[in-house]
Amino acid sequence: MNSISPKGLDEAQIRAQLARIGLRWANCISWNAGAAELFQQAVERGEAEVTAAGALAVSTGSHTGRSPKDKFIVRNAAAEGSVWWEANAGLSQTEFDLIKADMMGHARLKSLFVQDLVAGADPAHAMTVRVITEHAWQALFIRHLLSAAGGKDLAQPDLTILCLPSFKADPKRHGTRSETVIALDLEHGLVLIGGTQYAGEIKKSVFTVMNHRLPARGVLPMHCSANEGRDGDTALFFGLSGTGKTTLSTDPARALIGDDEHGWSDNGIFNIEGGCYAKAINLTAESEPEIFAAANRFASVLENVSLDGSRAPDFADGSITENTRAAYPLEAISNAKRDARGAVPSAIIMLTADAFGVLPPVARLSPDEAMYHFMSGYTAKLAGTERGVKEPQATFSACFGAPFLTRHPSVYGEMLRQLIARHKIPCYLVNTGWTGGAYGVGKRFPLAVTRKLVTAALSGAIDAAPMRSDPTFGFAVPVRLPGVPDEMLDPRRGWSDAAAYDAAATHLKALFAENFEKFAEPARKIAAE
């Protein structure tokens, strides 16, 4: 066995470390290699192409998004009484152990890349993570997305992730749905990923485990981005993939805390990650200069982004997938906060991409309305984010992140309700979706307008504006704001057929009510405890 070990571990020590999870054979192991070395390995092994600017362009094959139906949690003591089984598929410990044994055998002749990392910028709530992959580019990806372990002792990490895309599960033998498997053993701190190269599965496995781990410590895990103003005011942006979390939180006038996953403890806000995983479709230097520059820096990882004849990324090309991605460390954003932490939020913004075209671009939410929309998590599931999704579909995802929740949404909802009430935090709903008609007829709200609305919310300008009550949804909507056309603030005026708008709005309200019904009783029980 050849080994590359910047930490100075000898072969016997490396074998002992990996034997802890049952991995006893390997052809070549790279142990905590740096970005430059992983970059070189990815190119030499034919895993990636080098772009004109020095980024790595990789293809994830047939899996260009997450495979939520292939994700499982082991039904053991750590999970049985606390996991939300209505939304999480279970595996027996026997089935998981069989997958594990077969994956260990599969890894016998593979070259492996190990990275020892940390999730969570708050040391009091950080989780040590060891990621073992068979692709150098995936090791580089997760090195960007999490933080280096530094001097932390990872002899026994809190979580180990083994990702072998070339391993194919056998549904009859392993109890899986297909050849793809993402299996989480919460009791033993082990995640097995096989049959998919999509690196987002590694990232979201870490977040899923944090979603189970943090509430037990009184910390709220959140699928949100966060930034900080010059006066130290912190803003949170909740939302599903593609609704604008990364874009809107990456603001030259505000310091970026993080673009996707955060925890909220008694100490304030902290980023769970150490990097960004930005959607890259139609990315331009003019619309998103910071993200564009980060995507084009040395060793950034571009997933499924086509290159033109000069090897420059063609971000407008969605022929492979609309879910093109750029992964880079937080430090690639010039005004990112180096400690990745912030104070208690001064404002909360809930993002949605309304495919029906009936929600206003911004609304002020009462505390009860904020909880309703947090528990509902309405948006459009955007093309490419999951396998088989070819165009936007209306969907409800509790807490704006149901695929990553292990506990019942009411647990997270009640934690947020208490935090909002304790700190009296103003909340807003911002629609980054369609106006002037539903998807296919209307157009998406211009990014420049959405940025103005976010600025108005954070500055308090919306609270000072004249307001109307939305006749369908009841929340308060500004009648006019500087720099925003009045007719855009009232979506009904943008439809050519007002009666058709009313029908669509009534239909959407009914969908909200139908979806929320399944949360009403659990929410009442938790609130009463």
CA-nearest of 303, 325, 310 to 137 is 303
Q: Which one is catalytic: 71, 125, 203, 325?
A: 325
Q: Which one is catalytic: 51, 64, 66, 435?
A: 66
Q: Which one is catalytic: 51, 64, 234, 246?
A: 246
Contact predicate 256/271, CB 8 Å? no
Q: What number of helices (H) and strands (E) belong to the chain?
A: 15, 30
245 is catalytic: yes
Contact predicate 451/248, CB 8 Å? yes
Q: Which one is catalytic: 71, 130, 223, 364?
A: 223
DSSP secondary structure letter of residue 86: T
204 is catalytic: yes
Contact predicate 282/332, CB 8 Å? no
What span, in angstroms and rounded, lies between the C-alpha atoms of 171 and 179? 7
Structure tokens at 412: 């997270």
Q: Which one is catalytic: 51, 67, 241, 379?
A: 241
What span, in angstroms and rounded, lies between the C-alpha atoms of 288 and 177? 39
DSSP 393-425: EEEE-GGG-GGG--S-HHHHHHHHHHHHHHHT-
What span, in angstroms and rounded, lies between the C-alpha atoms of 529 and 525? 6
Largest Cα separation within the chain, whole Å, is 74
Structure tokens at 312: 């420059």
What span, in angstroms and rounded, lies between the C-alpha atoms of 134 and 138? 8
424 is catalytic: no
223 is catalytic: yes
Q: Which one is catalytic: 100, 135, 144, 245?
A: 245
CA angle 26, 30, 35 (to 5 degrees): 155
260 is catalytic: yes
212 is catalytic: no
Sign of the Cα torsion 238, 242, 246, 247 reads negative
70 is catalytic: no
What span, in angstroms and rounded, lies between the C-alpha atoms of 159 and 130? 6
What span, in angstroms and rounded, lies between the C-alpha atoms of 148 and 117? 5
Contact predicate 301/137, CB 8 Å? yes
Structure tokens at 140: 């580089």
Q: Which one is catalytic: 63, 130, 144, 204?
A: 204
Structure tokens at 19: 């034997």
DSSP secondary structure letter of residue 124: G
Neighbours of 82 (CB within 10 A): 16
What span, in angstroms and rounded, lies between the C-alpha atoms of 439 and 441? 6
Tell me which amino acid residue 434 is: W
Torsion of CA 57, 192, 74, 129, to 10 degrees: -80
Q: Which one is catalytic: 70, 116, 260, 354?
A: 260
Sign of the Cα torsion 406, 409, 415, 420 reads positive
What span, in angstroms and rounded, lies between the C-alpha atoms of 118 and 340? 13
Active-site residue list = 66, 204, 223, 241, 245-246, 260, 325
